Chains A and B, each alone.
Chain A
Amino acid sequence: MIRVEPRTAPSRLMKIGVPILSAVIALALAAIPLVFAGAAIGPAYVEMFKGVFGSKFAFSEMLTRATPLIFTGLAAALAFRARLWNIGAEGQLYLGAMAAVAIGTGAVEAPAVILLPLIILFGCMAGAAGMAVPAVLKTRFGADEVVTTLLLNFIILIFLQYMLEGPLKDPMGLGWPQSSPILDQGMLPPLMERMRVHSGLIIALVCAGVAQFMLARSVWGFKLRAVGENAFAARHAGIRVNRTLLSAALVSGALAGMAGVSEVAGLKGYLTSDLSPGFGYTGIVVAMLAGLSPAGVVAAAVFIASVFVGADSMSRAMGVSSYLADLVVSTSLLCVLIGGFFARFRFVRVKVRQRAAS
């Protein structure tokens, strides 16, 4: 008879191995929809690979794609560590982008050394505000933050439409619902000539490093982890649970807002309602693949960005729907979840010796 027993503690190897294995399995399972779409499997994988590693431009495109995912991945990871289910990163991203555009398209006349930090500051504050509301609704009224953050995403998107057709509308945009472009001195400088990858990536990496450090080594991080693991015991020990949740919410929202700033002031230059193809939601998958570790978020973001960029390229080359990327990403989430089970439990074969009846 096989019995399931909890492991004493998952080894380091397992903690890294499970996400990597999940990623590999999810990629391998992509063969099934490829067959369904009538595409040749080998060449499809080759095209995906080339789409990321085939040229310097391709690689920089991947990094460009990874940048907002690092931000939203960090937002989700930090919140989830506190057991605060922030599903609203998508909306918070747009709040950050709107703030960036409100400040950076001409309302403030200042040189880059002032304007850029100002844009970042207001973008982060806007994102933080977006998560503060659901957090307060949770701590004061017990309203489930999963639903409130989700619904708020829709509200923010509708608000965005209003802003793009009204106060933020570009007077010289030929009537399209888009914002004015951000001033040159408000743009995040690019990292390489003729490539789209920009200094938002550096900011993202710094954020990941700081988050990892703070989570592991600071009192704030300790409290966040304690509240996430067992809010009752944390409270009993004197930790201010609501205060901790609120601060986690603000940081999480700020990071998601930064994703919006990064996209608008680093990549696109102006704001439209399709700025984000779901970065907020994908960030959740990034966080789970990373095992909720900020350092892991960088690796997971790179992987997911590679999948999207690679699948895009393969889609153009072979005519397979680029939704394949979403399939791989969602499959990898389910794999990592199942893998978590194997990391926590192990199978033990037990011999049942039944004494003969007298």
Chain B
Amino acid sequence: MDILQILLSESFWAASLRIATPLIFGVLGALLCEKSGVLNLGIEGIFVAGAMSGWMAVWLGAGLWGGVLVAAAAGGFFGLIHAILTVPLGLSQHVSGLGVTLFATSVSYFSYRTALPNVSSPPRIEPFRPLDIPVLSDLPFVGPVLFQQTALTWLALLMVVVVWYVMNRTALGVAIKAVGDNPNSVDAQGLSVYGLRIGAVVAGSSLMALGGAFLTMSAFDAFFFGMVNGRGWISIALVIFASWRPGKALLGALLFGAFDALQVRLQTEVGALVPSQVFLAAPYVLSIIALVIVARSADYPRALLTPWFKGQR
């Protein structure tokens, strides 16, 4: 099987979309936060929290969508911590984000270990099954790729449309874009800078958590320590690559997923000649390259990383 054959196979594209899904959630979430002017480095920890809390909710009997809600709520909770520290208190967004990542991760790991202390292999739940949509799933090529994904992938794609619509077609989107460029513009028009930013960060963090939930409730069926493995950081790099636009965010996540799916398949082909680690490292190298190429982007939210305080002009 050569590269062309791989690229033309349905299983490759289905895998690409599956691998891209958590990144879609992550990039959309980071995009919302950053568009409003707040960098959320808590994303890696929020992924962990979403993965653990969603899985745990299902394991305790909440049902799959109950788990999704719990994961989103967990994301919102940790996002709120970050929002309060960075928006009204105006503390360093870098340090607060890293603190939230460490905090959310340790809360998740501790809770999991305490709830399940003596397990040799992680217990499993019944995850989301691929949605078999009648008629559409039988279409050649497109069928198996698109219409045998799980509900969470569909949710991710839906979220791309929702975020696009909110940012570009609603008054709320205008306000968020404005507060990320010049908070004074929003304040002078009688809107609340704090409210907009805190809301954007909480909403964005809920989306991020869904990325984690996908890992434990759809891609796999159990929670492993270290399973997030940098997907949060990759999402942050991809947001810059996407110029903070939902459409490009989807494209970036898909490209990334495709590359990751490709390297798994290539390993079996060329494994003898090139060490497997080259393929393992490729996604991270790719992210760095993408970051460097797009670094000085014109769409950079002007007020990103700058705190705003009421009553200081």
Interface residues of A (CB under 8 A from B): 33, 36-37, 85, 87, 137, 141-144, 146-148, 150-152, 154-155, 158-159, 161-162, 166, 281, 284-285, 288, 319-321, 323-324, 326-327, 329-331, 333-334, 337-338, 340-341
One of B98-106, B136-144, B204-212 at the interface = B98-106
Add 10 more A-B contacts to A146-B236, A154-B229, A321-B114 (CB < 8 A). Answer: A147-B233, A150-B233, A151-B285, A159-B277, A321-B117, A327-B110, A330-B106, A333-B99, A334-B96, A337-B85
State A158–B284 Cα separation when bound (angstroms): 10
The answer to whether A151 touches B113 (Cβ under 8 A) is: no
- Given A142-B295, A161-B277, A341-B91, A326 and B106 contact (CB-CB distance below 8 Å): yes
Q: Which 4 A-B pairs have the closest CB atoms?
A: A326-B106, A330-B102, A321-B113, A323-B110
The answer to whether A337 touches B106 (Cβ under 8 A) is: no
Residues of A within 8 Å of B81, CB to CB, are: 334
- Given A85-B94, A155-B284, A337-B92, A326 and B109 contact (CB-CB distance below 8 Å): yes
- For B111, the closest partner residue in chain A by CB is A36
Residues of A within 8 Å of B96, CB to CB, are: 334, 337
B230 CB-CB contact with A under 8 Å = yes
> Which of B85, B92, B277, B296 has the most chain A CB atoms inside 10 A of its CB?
B277
The answer to whether A281 touches B102 (Cβ under 8 A) is: yes
| B280-313 contact mask (Cβ, 8 Å, vs A): 1 or 0 | 1100110110011001100000000000000000
Interface of B is mostly: helix
The answer to whether B110 touches A146 (Cβ under 8 A) is: no
The answer to whether B98 touches A87 (Cβ under 8 A) is: yes
State A281–B109 Cα separation when bound (angstroms): 16
Contact of A288 among B95, B105, B234 (CB under 8 A): B95
State A87–B81 Cα separation when bound (angstroms): 21
The answer to whether A341 touches B89 (Cβ under 8 A) is: yes
State A155–B109 Cα separation when bound (angstroms): 24
Question: 28 A-B pairs, CB-CB below 8 angstroms?
Answer: A37-B110, A141-B296, A142-B295, A143-B291, A143-B292, A144-B291, A147-B240, A147-B288, A150-B233, A151-B284, A154-B233, A154-B281, A154-B284, A161-B277, A285-B102, A288-B95, A321-B110, A323-B106, A323-B110, A326-B110, A327-B106, A327-B110, A329-B102, A330-B99, A330-B106, A333-B98, A337-B85, A337-B96
Contact of A146 among B94, B106, B275 (CB under 8 A): B94
Cross-chain pair count, CB within 8 angstroms: 121
CB distance from B296 to the nearest CB of A (A): 5
- For B103, the closest partner residue in chain A by CB is A330
CB distance from A81 to the nearest CB of B (A): 13
Residues of A within 8 Å of B236, CB to CB, are: 146-147
CB distance from B108 to the nearest CB of A (A): 9
B83 CB-CB contact with A under 8 Å = no
CB distance from B287 to the nearest CB of A (A): 5
Residues of A within 8 Å of B291, CB to CB, are: 143-144, 147-148
Residues of A within 8 Å of B107, CB to CB, are: 327
- For A85, the closest partner residue in chain B by CB is B94
State A326–B111 Cα separation when bound (angstroms): 12
Residues of B within 8 Å of A337, CB to CB, are: 85, 91-92, 95-96, 99
Enumerate B135-156 residues with CB–CB distance to A below 8 Å: none
State A341–B96 Cα separation when bound (angstroms): 12
The answer to whether B114 touches A155 (Cβ under 8 A) is: no
The answer to whether A334 touches B103 (Cβ under 8 A) is: yes
The answer to whether A323 touches B109 (Cβ under 8 A) is: yes
The answer to whether B113 touches A162 (Cβ under 8 A) is: no
The answer to whether B98 touches A284 (Cβ under 8 A) is: yes
The answer to whether B105 touches A326 (Cβ under 8 A) is: yes
State A352–B143 Cα separation when bound (angstroms): 68
> Which of A161, A327, A331 has the most chain B CB atoms inside 10 A of its CB?
A327
